[in-house]
Amino acid sequence: MSGRAWGVLFVLCGAIFLEGVDVAMLNVALPSIRADLGLSTGTLQWVMSAYVLGYGGFMLLGGRAADLFGRRQMFLFWLTVFLLFSGLGGLASEGWTLVVARFVTGVAAAFMTPAGLSIITTSFEEGPQRNKALLVYSGTAAGGFSIGLVVGGLLASVDWRWVFFAPVILSALILVTGAALIPKSAKPDRNGQSMDIGGAISVTAGILLLVFAVERASHETVGITAVTVAASLVLFLAFVLIERKAASPLVRLGIFRNGSLVRSNIAGLLFAAGFFGFQFIVVLYLQELRGWSTLQTSFAMIVIGIDAILSPTLTPRLVNKFGNARVIFGGLLLATLSYALMLPLGLDWTYMMMFPSLIILGLAFSLAYGPLTIVATEGIAEEEQGVAGGLLYTSFQFGAALGLSSATAVLTAVTDGTSDQALLDGYQAALLVPLVAAAVAVVISMFGLRKKSGAATAEAVPANDPVLESVETAR
């Protein structure tokens, strides 16, 4: 790659690093935020979920906007919005203000991230060069998460508001560098195409209602929960109908004929659900049951960040030797093992008893995340790269929101009292959520193993693939 290409990749990696840092720093600062603002567990969960809902809900619209209005323009504009509302979050004095700021920040990331990813997938030639760029990109995202854990702990020990102010500084640096390095491109030829606002509203509302139903399941009657879920499904059906008739659909439904794309999105959703649910539970266990400080928690969790080293080094070699499908399958198996090892969690567990689960999860992330990104965008036409990236990150964020909501719902339902044993019972039950999610992801990924190692991942799925058949039936 040329020096300019490396410079562009550096900027885009900086943006995804920012996203990882932002989420990780907030995660370890949650107990401090709860103590200062007096938030309930449900509200605390929404501080996290508001971001991932805005991120996942508007990701498809963001991907489409990148294809229609220019990837560079969308990237720089929404990076600016991200900067402004991150700063607003640091000024919040009430829970609802923080939730709103996080939601808008998530929306900004929803437009910024697919634009950045599609700049990579359209700037680097498909094959080894693009794979290398994407694995460096995913490794940087992992690095942002691991470094964010430590930096977040350090900042939160001083004042949790710095967890929001620090991304403002980083965003400003990336913005200036990106404006200088990312080359201007020709204005996309929209051929009279317009944004599919109806599709964006219906799918976003559907996601919001579904996650809300899961989060409130332990507080509401079965009837109310069922009605809420049914309403979300109606919205998803409306989204499909709108897309079938729209002159310029948010998502061309024919893209789902790509079996590899379907599998990677479903597996990514489940993987993210398990990963985010697991880290939420572990952080609460360490800080609220064991009494660990934010800094101690940060250093305990940083071992997961081994994926920042392995993603750009080990993973490319494994992909070249075994193919993306087998590497993804192995990563998901390791994630399942990681969560299973944590199930016997006790009141007096030492760090070394938790260490195997955490280190294995870091390895699992390095094997699954990057190859899922490659498979989800490989073989897709250039004019739909933004949509393909938007679909993948929608799956990741939708999964994260559902994982957080499900873990919180189980934790709230099972925890009976405030004693240490009651809290531990809740944490142990909630750990089943990531385990089940990872196990189902393993089953889904098995269908990708039919291909020969190194085969093109973009070819259509076989006619008897039940994953694709379910999608076609829904259509």
Average pLDDT (85-112) is 88
Amino acid at 373: T
DSSP letters for 311-360: TTTHHHHHHHHH-HHHHHHHHHHHHHHHHHHHTT--TT--HHHHHHHHHH
- For the chain, what is the mean pLDDT? 82
DSSP letters for 36-65: HHT--HHHHHHHHHHHHHHHHHHHHHHHHH
Which of these ranges, 9-23, 59-73, 209-223, 336-350, has the smallest mean pLDDT?
A: 209-223
**What local confidence, expressed as pLDDT, does residue 280 receive?**
85
Closest residue by Cα to residue 261 from 91, 465, 102: 465
- Each domain of the chain, given as residue ranges in start order, spans 1-183, 197-249, 255-449
pLDDT digits (tens, 9 = 90+) for 369-404: 889 988 888 777 777 777 787 788 778 877 877 888
CA dihedral 392, 68, 175, 122 (to 10 degrees): 60
Supply the DSSP symbol for 221: -
CA dihedral 322, 470, 394, 247 (to 10 degrees): 120
Provide the CA 459 distance to its chain's centre, in angstroms: 25
Q: pLDDT at residue 446 above 50?
A: yes
- Fold for domain 255-449? Growth Hormone; Chain: A; (1.20.1250)
Closest residue by Cα to residue 90 from 36, 17, 16: 36
Name the more confident of 414 and 156.
Answer: 414
Tokens 């990514």 locate to 268
Q: pLDDT at residue 65 above 90?
A: no
Count Cβ atoms below 10 Å from residue 4 Cβ, excluding itself: 12
How far apart CA 255 and CA 247 sit, in angstroms, is: 16
Tokens standing for residue 126: 């498909």
Cα 100 to Cα 111, 169, 401, distances in angstroms: 17, 21, 16
What is the phi-psi region of residue 417: left when phi exceeds 0, alpha when psi lies from -120 to 50, beta otherwise?
Answer: left
Average pLDDT (318-324) is 89
Supply the DSSP symbol for 285: I
CATH architecture observed for domain 1-183? Up-down Bundle (1.20)
Q: Residue 21 — pLDDT band, cuts 50, 70, 90? A: confident
Closest residue by Cα to residue 423 from 436, 433, 414, 432: 414
Share of the chain above pLDDT 90, in %: 24
How far apart CA 142 and CA 286 sit, in angstroms, is: 22
Angle, CA 447 vertex, CA 363 and CA 391 arms, to 5°: 70
Has this prediction a pTM greater than 0.85?
no
Decide if 1-183 and 255-449 have a common fold: yes
Tokens 């008893």 locate to 353
Supply the DSSP symbol for 450: G
**What local confidence, expressed as pLDDT, does residue 451 receive?**
56
Average pLDDT (421-443) is 93
Q: Residue 471 — pLDDT band, cuts 50, 70, 90? A: very low
